[in-house]
C-alpha cells in the first residue's frame, strides 16, 4: 500500500469494484483538496448511473455465497480487518488529515472510535441468534432467524472519512450483506484504503465496493431496484431527500442529518470543568461534527458572566494550524466555500445584534495563508431568532445564549427543529433528572462534553436530525441490516386414524 503523502503529485483515483481498483469511465472528475494548503492533491472519478449499476450487479453476484458463509467464518475476516486497521493507523490518520484537515491526533481518535463498530460486529454470532419456543400449541415449535437483506448501500460524509463508514458497514458485512459505499467525493482516499484492507483480510470480491461520485451516483443507488437499504449521514436537507426518495423506491432508509447541540451550564456547575469541556466539544475538528457543541447556554446572568470570563482567554489561546502541526488544536475547514459560509454567518449575526466575543476571522497561520482556515470565534448575546442560532454552522463560529432558568433552556432546545445531541453541566441530580426526562433530543449528556454513544449503543437524533427508523452503531444495526423469518414446525407421529379437516382459524385450544 502506498501513502498519498506527496505534496507535489496530483493522483488520479479509482473506484473499488469486484475486488479491484477500477478506472472511472465517466470522464468526469472532482478535485480533492488538502484543506491545510488549499492545493489539489487528487482527482476523483464521478461515476455514472451505468457504473453504479455495474457495481451493484457485481455485489449482487457476490452476495449469495457470502450470505451463506457461516457467521464464524465472517467474523474471522472481520478480526483480521480489525488487526489491519490497527497496523495501518498511522498511514490512515495521515490520509484523513491530508484530505479532511483534521489534526493527526483527532484523526487517530476517529479511527479508534470507528474500530468500536468493528468490535461490535465481531459480536455478530450473539446478535444474530433468533428466538425459539417449544410446543406453542398442538406440538408445534416456533423459531425465528435473522437473514441478510442482500445488497445495501452507505453514503458517508466528509467529516468522518473512516469512523462513519465503519459504523455504517461493519455490522452489515457481519450480517452477510454485500455493501456498496459511496464516500464523500471530498475525501475518497480513506475509503479506497479501507477497501484494500478488506481485501487483504480475505473478504471475497464484490462483498465490499466503493463507487465514487456526486449526486448522479447517489440517485443511481436510490433508484437501483437491487439495493435493499441505504444508510446516509450528511446535512438535514440531503438526509430528507435520501429518506423520501429511498422509501419511494421501496428501500429501508436510515438518514442522519445535522445537529444544533446545546451545552446548558447550571449555576451549581463546575465552571472550569464546563469551559474545558466546551472548548474541545465546540472547536474540535474545526467544529465540523454533527455532534459538536454549537451553543453554550448559561443559566442566570451570574453564571453567564463567570463562564464567559473564563472562556475568553482559553479560546484566544487556541491554535489553528495544518493537520500535521503537533501544536495545532484544530485545522482548517474542508473547502473555501465552507470557509466563506462560516464567515458569512458571523457577519450576519453581527448585523442582527450579536456581540463579537472572540474574533477568529483572520487567524495567523505560520506555514501558509492559502489553506481554508477560520479561527475560533465566539458570539455572545445571541437570541433564538438569529440565523446563526437556527442553522447548523459547520465551522468554528460558536455562540452563547443567555437564559434565566433551566425551563427556558429546555424550552428553546425543544423548540428547535433539530434534535441530535445536548448536554447539561450541573452538580444537581434533580436538575439532571428533570433535564434528561424533559429534553426532546436523541442523545443526551450529563457532565459529558459530546454525548455520542459508544459503538455498542444506538446512535441517532430526533426530529429533523434523523429520518427513518434505523440507528447507527449498536444493536439496532442488526435489525436494520437483516430481515426476520419466523418458522412454525410440527413433526407429527405416524397415525392410522384419519384426521378431520378443521376450517376454523388456528388457535391454541
Spatial separation of the C-alpha atoms in residues 212 and 206, rounded to whole Å: 16
Please state the rounded mean pLDDT for residues 408-424.
93
Handedness of CA 114, 120, 124, 130 (dihedral sign): negative
CA distance 121 to 76: 11
pLDDT value of position 369: 67
Summarize the confidence of residues 140-144 as an average pLDDT.
Answer: 90
Using CA atoms, how far residue 48 sits from 15, 31, 94, 178, 218, in Å, is: 12, 17, 30, 20, 10
Enumerate helices (H) and strands (E) in the chain, giving the number of each: 16, 23
Average pLDDT (95-110) is 96
Which pLDDT score is estimated for 3? 37
Written out in words, the top-level CATH class of the domain with range 263-446 is alpha beta
Residue 212: burial class (beta carbons within 10 Å; 0-12, 13-18, 19+): buried
Could you tell me which CATH number the domain at 11-257+465-486 has? 3.40.605.10
Cα distance between residue 449 and residue 279, in whole Å: 9
Residues that are catalytic: 290
Mapped onto helix, strand or coil, the DSSP state of residue 153 is strand
User: Could you give phi then psi for residue 4, rounded to 5 degrees?
Assistant: -95, 5
**Cα-based distances in Å from 210 to 8, 24, 78, 153, 508:** 26, 12, 18, 10, 51
Joined grid coordinates for residue 39: 492545493
Contacts (Cβ under 8 Å, ≥6 apart) of 202:
76, 77, 80
Range in 37-51, 266-280, 396-410, 485-499 the model is least confident about: 485-499
Confidence of residue 476 (pLDDT cuts 50, 70, 90): confident
User: Any idea what DSSP says for residue 335?
Assistant: -
The beta strands (E) that lie in 175-307 are given as 178-182, 208-210, 227-233, 252-256, 261-265, 293-298
Pairwise pLDDT comparison (485 vs 456), residue with the higher score: 485
Which three three-digit cell numbers place residue 123?
Answer: 459480536
Farthest CA pair distance, the chain: 94
Average pLDDT over residues 333-361: 95
| 377 CB-near residues (< 8 Å, 6+ apart) | 346, 356, 358, 359, 360, 361, 396, 397, 398
- Domain extents in the chain: 11-257+465-486, 263-446
Residues in the chain: 509
pLDDT surpassing 70 at residue 497: no
User: Over 80: is that where the pLDDT of 237 sits?
Assistant: yes
Beta carbons within 10 angstroms of residue 144's beta carbon: 13
H or E segment at 132? strand 132-137
- Res 419 pLDDT > 90: no
The DSSP secondary structure of 29-71, one letter per residue, reads EEEEEETTTTEEEEEEE---HHHHHHHHHHHHHHHHHHHHS-H
For residue 259, what are the contacts with CB-CB under 8 A and spacing of at least 6? 290, 291, 292, 294, 392, 418, 419, 420, 421, 461, 465
The pTM is what? 0.92
Mean of pLDDT values over 365-385: 85
Per-residue model confidence as pLDDT tens digits over 256-281 = 999 999 999 999 999 999 999 999 99
Amino acid at each position: 500500500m502506498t501513502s498519498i503523502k506527496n505534496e507535489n503529485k496530483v493522483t488520479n483515483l479509482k473506484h473499488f469494484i469486484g475486488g479491484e481498483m477500477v478506472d472511472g469511465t465517466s470522464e468526469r472528475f472532482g478535485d480533492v483538496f488538502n484543506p491545510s494548503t488549499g492545493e489539489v492533491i487528487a482527482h476523483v472519478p464521478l461515476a455514472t448511473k451505468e457504473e453504479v449499476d455495474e457495481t451493484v450487479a457485481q455485489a449482487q453476484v457476490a452476495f449469495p455465497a457470502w450470505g451463506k458463509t457461516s457467521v464464524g467464518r465472517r467474523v474471522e475476516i472481520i478480526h483480521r480487518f480489525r488487526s489491519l486497521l490497527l497496523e495501518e493507523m498511522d498511514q490512515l490518520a495521515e490520509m484523513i488529515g491530508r484530505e479532511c484537515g483534521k489534526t493527526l491526533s483527532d484523526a487517530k481518535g476517529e479511527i479508534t472510535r470507528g474500530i468500536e463498530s468493528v468490535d461490535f460486529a465481531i459480536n455478530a454470532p450473539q446478535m444474530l441468534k433468533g428466538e425459539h419456543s417449544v410446543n406453542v400449541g398442538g406440538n408445534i415449535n416456533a423459531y425465528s432467524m435473522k437473514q441478510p437483506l442482500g445488497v445495501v448501500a452507505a453514503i458517508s460524509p466528509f467529516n468522518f472519512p473512516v469512523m462513519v463508514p465503519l459504523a455504517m458497514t461493519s455490522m452489515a458485512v457481519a450480517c452477510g450483506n454485500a455493501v456498496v459505499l459511496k464516500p464523500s467525493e471530498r475525501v475518497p482516499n480513506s475509503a479506497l484504503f479501507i477497501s484494500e484492507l478488506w481485501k487483504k483480510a480475505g473478504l471475497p470480491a464484490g462483498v465490499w465496493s466503493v463507487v465514487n461520485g456526486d449526486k448522479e451516483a447517489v440517485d443511481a443507488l436510490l433508484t437501483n431496484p437491487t439495493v435493499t437499504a441505504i444508510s446516509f449521514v450528511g446535512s438535514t436537507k440531503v438526509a430528507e431527500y435520501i429518506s423520501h426518495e429511498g422509501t419511494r423506491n421501496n428501500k429501508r432508509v436510515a438518514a442522519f442529518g445535522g445537529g444544533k447541540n446545546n451545552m446548558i451550564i447550571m449555576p451549581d456547575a463546575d465552571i472550569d470543568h464546563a469551559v474545558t469541556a466546551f472548548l474541545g466539544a465546540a472547536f474540535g475538528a474545526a467544529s465540523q461534527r454533527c455532534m459538536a457543541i454549537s451553543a453554550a447556554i448559561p443559566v442566570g446572568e451570574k453564571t453567564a458572566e463567570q463562564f464567559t470570563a473564563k472562556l475568553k482567554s482559553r479560546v484566544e489561546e487556541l491554535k489553528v494550524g495544518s493537520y500535521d502541526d503537533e501544536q495545532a488544536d484544530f485545522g482548517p475547514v474542508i473547502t473555501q466555500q465552507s470557509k466563506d459560509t462560516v464567515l458569512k454567518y458571523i457577519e450576519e449575526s453581527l448585523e442582527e445584534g450579536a456581540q463579537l466575543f472572540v474574533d477568529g476571522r483572520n487567524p495567523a497561520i505560520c506555514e501558509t495563508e492559502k489553506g481554508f482556515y477560520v479561527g475560533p470565534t465566539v458570539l455572545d448575546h445571541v437570541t433564538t431568532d438569529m440565523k446563526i442560532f437556527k442553522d447548523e454552522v459547520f465551522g468554528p463560529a460558536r455562540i452563547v445564549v443567555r437564559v434565566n432558568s433551566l425551563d427556558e433552556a429546555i424550552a428553546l432546545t425543544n423548540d428547535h427543529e433539530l434534535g441530535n445531541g445536548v448536554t447539561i453541566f450541573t452538580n444537581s441530580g434533580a436538575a439532571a433528572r428533570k433535564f434528561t426526562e424533559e429534553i426532546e433530543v436523541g442523545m443526551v449528556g450529563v457532565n459529558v462534553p459530546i454525548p455520542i454513544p459508544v459503538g455498542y449503543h444506538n446512535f441517532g437524533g430526533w426530529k429533523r436530525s434523523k429520518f427513518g427508523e434505523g440507528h447507527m452503531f449498536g444493536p439496532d444495526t442488526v435489525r436494520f441490516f437483516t430481515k426476520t423469518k419466523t418458522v412454525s414446525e410440527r413433526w407429527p407421529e405416524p397415525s392410522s386414524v384419519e384426521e378431520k379437516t378443521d376450517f376454523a382459524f388456528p388457535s391454541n385450544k
